[in-house]
């Protein structure tokens, strides 16, 4: 049990649509990040939020955006969905501060774009 919960677990969208994925972290975990894991690959970093502000981003276009709320919940929004966006999206959280702090992952949201 990691204390990180994600919803929905599975969803199917049509190319061009928009999607919002949600995450709830443990109390006190003020740093949340999102990863994309395509089939057969390792997770790829999308972006990170610390105290409700984005403070790091991977090689993902601006149509991937996020929000972090004071109650330790967060969202990942993807606009203009493309077929290649089909993947497992993982939310991860930790206590901010040192780079060695353990990062805990949720079970993920499976997105299929058709």
- Binds another protein by CB under 8 A, chosen from 56, 63, 79, 82: 56
Is residue 106 part of the contact set for another protein (CB under 8 A)?
yes
**Segment interacting with another protein (CB under 8 A) among 20-28, 64-72, 74-82, 103-111:** 103-111
Least distance in angstroms from the C-beta of 90 to another protein: 6
Interior/surface letters 79-93, b for 16+ CB within 10 angstroms, e for the rest: eebeeebbbbbbbbb
Task: Give the count of residues interacting with another protein (CB under 8 A).
Answer: 27
- Binds another protein by CB under 8 A, chosen from 19, 21, 90, 113: 90
**Phi first, then psi: what are they for 85, rounded to 5°?**
-80, -5
Strand pairing category for 10-13 and 109-113: parallel
Task: Give the span between the Cα atoms of 106 and 60, in whole angstroms.
Answer: 21
Task: Give the span between the Cα atoms of 75 and 94, in whole angstroms.
Answer: 16
Are 67 and 88 contacting, i.e. CB atoms less than 8 angstroms apart? no
- Binds another protein by CB under 8 A, chosen from 17, 55, 77, 79: 55
Contact residues toward another protein (CB under 8 A) are 2, 4, 6, 33, 35, 41-45, 48, 55-58, 90, 92, 99-100, 102-108, 110
């Amino acid at each position: 049990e990691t204390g990180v919960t994600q919803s929905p677990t599975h969803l199917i969208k049509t190319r061009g649509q928009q999607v919002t994925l949600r995450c709830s972290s443990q109390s006190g975990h003020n740093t949340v990040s999102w990863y994309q894991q395509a089939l057969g690959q390792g997770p790829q970093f999308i972006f990170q939020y610390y105290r409700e502000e984005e403070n790091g981003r991977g090689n993902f276009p601006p149509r991937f955006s996020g929000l972090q709320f004071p109650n330790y919940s967060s969202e990942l929004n993807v606009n203009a969905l493309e077929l290649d966006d089909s993947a497992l999206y993982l939310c991860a959280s930790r206590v901010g501060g040192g780079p060695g702090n353990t990062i805990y992952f949720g079970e993920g949201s499976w997105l299929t774009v058709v």
